[in-house]
Structure formats: C-alpha cells, structure tokens
Amino acid sequence: MDNFIFNIILFLGLVIAITIHEYSHALVADRFGDPTPRSYGRLSLNPLRHLDPLGTLMLLIAHFGWGKPVPIDPYNLSKKEESLVSLAGPASNFILAAVLSLILHFIPTIFLAVIIIRQLIVINISLAVFNLLPIPPLDGSKLFLNFLPQQQSLEWQKVFDQYGFFLLAILLFLPFGGSNLISLIISPIINLIANLLI
C-alpha cells in the first residue's frame, strides 16, 4: 500500500511538473507575440492540454514520460526570443524546485510531507536538467542550434532531423552499467542541485 501511494504521488508530481514546463513555453512565446500556442489551446494549466498519450503511459509504466511539445512559429520570434521560449520550461521547473525547497525548510517535520516535497523537488530538477540536453526534441537542442552560426545551425539541424530521436532512444533505453547513458550523464548534476536545495 505504501508503494502504491508513493507511485501515485510520483505520477501526480510528474504530471504537475510537465504541465508547468509546457505551460511556461506557451506563456513566454505568447508574451513575445507568437499566437501559435494560444491558438492550439496550450496557454493553459490544464494537464490534459499538455499530456502526450504515449508519454503519459510511460509515466505509469516506467515513471518517466513527456508532454506534447508546445508548437511555436519561429518566424514570429527572434533567435533570442526563441531561445528564451526554450529556456522557459526548464527554468520553470528549477523555480518550482526552489520554491518547494523553501517550503521544505519551513514546514514542520511531518515525515510524509517531507518525503513528498523532496520527491517533487527531485522530479522538477530532473525534468529541467534532462530537457537542457542538446538532443532533439529536447529544449537544449533548440538552444544549441540558436547559439551556432546560421550555416552550422542548418547543418546540425539536418543531423538532428535524421538521427535525433534515434540517438535519444539509444541514450534512454540502451542498458549501460546497470542504468542508461543519460542517467550517467545527468545524475551527478541532479544530485548536486538536489543537495543544495534539500
């Protein structure tokens, strides 16, 4: 029963983190004058607007998943604005983790509450760090392309279009040292940030 409750908390925490992440992309794009997210109904904190069916199923099965990418029109945005839209999702998760950290330090030490808040902090840090990896379709890939000169950006975009999803799948699902390559890359960063906040 304890394990069941923990899994429900984990699932709900991931849903909240993904919803805030995707909503933040939509909000910043909208503020910069791109009406695309609003026209697709993504300027909402309703999780149903942001959850991807397969990504949600993976949340239930593997405690790892994703939301639907927020559509934007890059012709409505400058390169700097597009980069800020990409950063908005991870930034929102870092901010939520920081707010939860403040709550954690001021609430009474009720065992269950502490466990839940700690788990929510780790979820948000993990989602933010993972999304900053420069691998498509993650937010970090857009940041990477926007910081390159135009010709190099176009060349890398072709590589990403051909191999990006395949590369992400290998990094996520190919076993390596009892885990996967992405965990080996991002776990030290997640642990460092979590130790600072918890």
| Catalytic, out of 22, 81, 82, 155 | 22
- As given in the structure block, the two tokens for residue 184 are 């080996």
Burial of 188 (0-12, 13-18, 19+ CB in 10 A): exposed
- As given in the structure block, the two tokens for residue 181 are 């390559």
Q: What is the DSSP string of 97-143?
A: HHHHHHHHHHS---HHHHHHHHHHHHHHHHHHHHHTSSSTTSHHHHH
- Of 172, 173, 143, 184, give the one whose Cα is nearest residue 160: 143
Residues ≥6 apart with Cβ < 8 Å to 134: 140, 141, 143, 144
- As given in the structure block, the two tokens for residue 99 are 């707010």
22 is catalytic: yes
Which residues does the annotation mark as catalytic?
22
